[in-house]
Each structure stands twice: as C-alpha cells, then as structure tokens.
Structure 1
Amino acid sequence: MKLAFNGATTIEAGLVEDVECAKKAGFELIEIWKSKLLNMLKKDGVENVKSLFERHRLKPVTINSIEQITFFENEQEKLKECEQLCKLAKELGVEGIVVVPGFLKGFVDEKTIEDESVKMLKKMADVAKKFSVKLGFEFLGFPNCSVNKIDSAWKIVQKVNEENVGVIVDTCHFFAGGSRLEQLEKIDPKKILIVHVNDLPKLKDVKDSDRVMPGDGILPLKDFFATLKRIGYDGAVSVELFNEDYWKKPACETAKVAFEKLKAFV
C-alpha cells in the first residue's frame, strides 16, 4: 500500500505548504483539497501547480471533492463542476475525483436513492471518460446521508457498471455508519479508488471533527487493514482528518505525526 496525505488534515495551510510538508514527512501521494487548488490556480496558473508536484516528486492521487451530487436541485451545476475538475485532473496527472452522495431532508426509499445515485454517477462517468479520470463514490456514515453504508455504495457502483467509477472507503464513515468487515471482504479491491484512514474516540453521534490520528481512538484498525490485505487491496491509504486541534498546529508537524501513525498500520 502507498501512503497518502489529505489536505483536509491541514485545512488552514495552503497547497504549497501541504505538498512541502507531505513530502518532508515521507508521503508518496497527496490528496488535493479542492479549495486550496482553486486558490492557487487563481494566483499561479496550472503550470506552476503542476511544477509544484513535479519538483517535490509527490503524486496527486485525488481532488476532494464534489459534494451533494444527488438530490441537488441543479444537476447541470454538478456536471459542470465535474468537467472543470476532470480537466484539471488530466492536466495535473491526478487519478480521480472524490464524489459524495447527497443528504436527505426526509424519508426517501432505497430504490429511489439507488436510481438517483446510478443516474448521476453514469452522467458524471461520461464526463470523466473524456479526460481519462476516475470517480470515487464516497459513502458517508451519517444517518441523514442518502448512502451511508459500504454495501449500499458497492451495490450502486456495480449497477453503474463503468470502468472509471469505484468506491472510496473512509474508516470514520465505515465504522460510524455501521458497516462491517465482512461487507468489505465482498468488494473488488480494484474498484476501491482510495482508503481514507482516521480514528474515532466514540461511535455514537459522530461528527467529522471527532476524528483523531490512526491508533489514537477505539476503531479496530488492525482488523480493518488485515481485511484490506486479505482481499488484495494494495492501493493508496490516506490520512484524512477534520479536527481543529490539528488545524491549529504547524502543518509539517501534523504531517509528520500522520505519516508515523499511518505507517504503523501498513
């Protein structure tokens, strides 16, 4: 498995600092936080961003993310954003775009959720194909997210049946949403775009800000990684936190700790 660093973990740092700190810490890959990329592009342009990754020999593996891709009023807005990010991904040598299902305001039956998800993912897949970019469908383990378990996300991806559409597994969402390791064992490892790794101090009423470094919480991460190895997954594993305590610390310090914590499991 290859170790990656997600820009959400150091949200207050810019893209240049993320790249420098991730490389210094020992990471091979980086996940680009979308707003950081767009901010740098405004000032420096695509070629300078591309040069940043090349100088540091750090491969950008994903751009995070297009959110609320389903149950959103303006479908064309999401498709336009998809095209914009896929174009950038091709120019920067990024493998894929993270796409996130929508949240629900009330009850929606499972078939409607599946139909809506499959429809939108197929449309986005057609856009991404033009740029040879993959899409990673990331289920969120929150009760009001339309797709909050791995078996539901996998079923949708199978129905989409496009080579450039896979799943993203996040340990926070996996365990907080009630997904089980035996469900992970049924996933084709080639269809997992990336694995987001973090830990939690609890499993009830979980918020993104509750995330802590791998090994600092209660999640059975050893069993999780053992399952990944058992199914033959050898792709990227990425530290992704949304914890303000880490945001306040120097980015290179956080990246160094993240690398050491993640390496202990790989």
Structure 2
Amino acid sequence: MTGHRAALRRFSLNQATTQHWPLPDAVAGCVAAGVPGIGLWREPVAEYGVERAAKLVRDAGLTVTTLCRGGFFTADDWRTENLRAIDEAAALGAPVLVLVSGGLPAGSKDIDGARHRVADAIAELAPYAEAAGVRLAVEPLHPMFSADRCVIATLGQALDIAERFDPGIVGVVVDAYHVWWDDTVYAQIARAGEWIASFQVCDWTTPLPAGVLLGRALPGDGCIELRRLREAVDAAGYTGPIEVEVFNADVWARPGEQVLAAAIDGYLREVA
C-alpha cells in the first residue's frame, strides 16, 4: 500500500458532499483517487436502482460505509419506510443505516414524549435490522434542528437510546458538525466506546447561510477541532471509516473531481 493510499485507508466520500455528481462518476472518481469507501443516500440510489447501484459499487471494489437515512419517526408510514431502508442497506452491503429521528409531532410541544417515541420506534425496528445484518445508528443533530428535524440533540441523548441495545445492533453517529459545540462531547465519546457506528466530518463556518442545512464546509475551512475529535473516537476504540459529509451549495456547484480532491486534502491536513 502506497503512502497516499495508506493515509486514505479510512477515508469515505459521503455522497451528499458531491450532490450533483452522478453515482457512476462518483464511484469512478473514488477509484481514481484511491478512496476506498463511499457513503450512499437512499434517494439517488433509488433513482439509479438499488441492485444496479450495489453491483456498480461492488464491481468497483469500493466499500459502502453507511446508508443515509432512516428515521423520521413522526411520519405516518415510518415503520414501512424504515423496514424498506433496512432492506436497501442490506442489498447495498451497507453495514450501517443512519437514523435521523424527526422533530416534534405536528401541533406538539412535548419534546420528552417525542424522544420516548424515537426509542420505542428503534426498539420495534431492531430485531428486523439484526436479522438483516444492518446496524442502526442514531445520529444526534445540532439543537437548532430539534423542532422540525431531530429531537435527539446531543450525543448523550443518542447514547441513552443506543445503550439499551447490543452495540452490534444499535449504535450512534458522531458527526462533527452536530456535536463539536457540546462541552460534554469528549466525555460522551469516551462513554460511547463500541456504540460508535460512524464518524462523519465537515467544518463549521459563520455566518450560516439562510438555509442553515447548507452551512457545512469542507474540513479545514472552519473552526472545528477535527483532529481532536478523531483522536477521541480512536481512543474510544473506533477504528472504522471516516466520512466527509458536506451540505453546501457553493461546494455542490463545483465539479465533483474538484470537490473530492479538496475533501481529501482537508481530511489529510485536518483529520488524519
């Protein structure tokens, strides 16, 4: 293994980072750049075809690191949709299905009740996921998303759910963008240990855009101590892939090859 490839052995390109790069081009770009893994999203995979996408990635020799996403447990069809997501992850060979919980139910202000609902829903899904060989991963999102997108707002809250299960069945996602601000995050990462199912990195810049969902930056372009977080998940025992996941309209407007090259450069400088 060359030095460059060795340095990238944990690197994974999350498909969201190159939003407008067609899947075959993204796969070919990863292979050309020596990137071993790719994190997939359900919508573009469904558009391409699940079985077709699975063959494409498999034939290229890439590892699917995660599938995004399941969850959104306030939806009427949440159970059917999450069972489908588990099946898709299994078909793709994705070992981890990322779960974003969803926000408050319509008309409700009961955030405690909403969090209990998330735990109950995951308990209902866990046996099916275990049988499929797919690990459910609870992702906490920054508190600003609690009302409409994710009532699980801290790594501690995600662990309160995940620790009810065998860590091989339900784990947590440590996403730098969502947890970096928390003064307890390093203690929670140490607590997480074998429950860490995925580690995702990007950076935080200000001012945030009007669409705050698109405020993520490439590693090294913001203020997060990414290497410190990586060292913490390593110390907790996590040895798995590190996904670069960026939502940013300016990044998406660039050619996919340029974005991948910039993501690799930031990862090597700031994370690895």
Q: TM-score range by the shorter chain?
A: 0.7 to 0.9
Query: After superposition, what is the alpha-carbon deviation per residue over 1:181-201, rounded to whole angstroms, capped at 9, x for unaligned?
Result: 22222112x211111100111
2:214–2:247 contact (8 Å) kept in structure 1: yes
The reply to whether residue 131 of structure 1 matches residue 135 of structure 2 is: no
Larger RCO, structure (CA 8 Å, separation 6 or more): 1
CA distance in 2, matches of 1:52, 1:204: 36
User: Quick one: structure 1 residues 65 and 109, their matched pair in 2 at CA, closer, same or farther if it must change by over 3 Å?
Assistant: closer
**Runs of 4+ with >4 A deviation:** 176-179, 203-206
Normalising by structure 2, we get a TM-score of 0.86
Normalising by structure 1, we get a TM-score of 0.88
1:141–1:177 contact (8 Å) kept in structure 2: no
CA distance in 2, matches of 1:109, 1:86: 26
Counterpart of 1:257? 262
Q: How does 1:1-266 map to 2 (within 5 A)?
A: 2-41=10-49, 46=51, 48-69=52-73, 72-74=74-76, 77-104=77-104, 107-110=109-112, 112-143=113-144, 144=146, 145-161=150-166, 163-176=168-181, 180-188=185-193, 190-202=194-206, 207-264=212-269, 265-266=271-272
CA distance in 2, matches of 1:255, 1:150: 28
1:148–1:177 contact (8 Å) kept in structure 2: no
**Equivalent pairs, count:** 256
1:67–1:102 contact (8 Å) kept in structure 2: yes
For structure 2, the residue ranges without an aligned partner over 5 or more in a row are: 1-8
User: Which amino acid is the alignment partner of residue 63 of structure 2?
Assistant: K
**More displaced, 119-128 or 88-97?**
88-97
- Give the share of equivalent positions with the same residue, in percent: 22
1:100–1:138 contact (8 Å) kept in structure 2: yes
CA distance in 1, matches of 2:236, 2:206: 27
Query: After superposition, what is the alpha-carbon deviation per residue over 1:60-115, rounded to whole angstroms, capped at 9, x for unaligned?
Result: 1211112412xx141xx2222222222222222221211111112653253x2442
**More displaced, 221-230 or 148-157?**
221-230
User: Quick one: structure 1 residues 223 and 162, their matched pair in 2 at CA, closer, same or farther if it must change by over 3 Å?
Assistant: closer
User: Which amino acid is the alignment partner of residue 251 of structure 2?
Assistant: Y
2:69–2:85 contact (8 Å) kept in structure 1: no
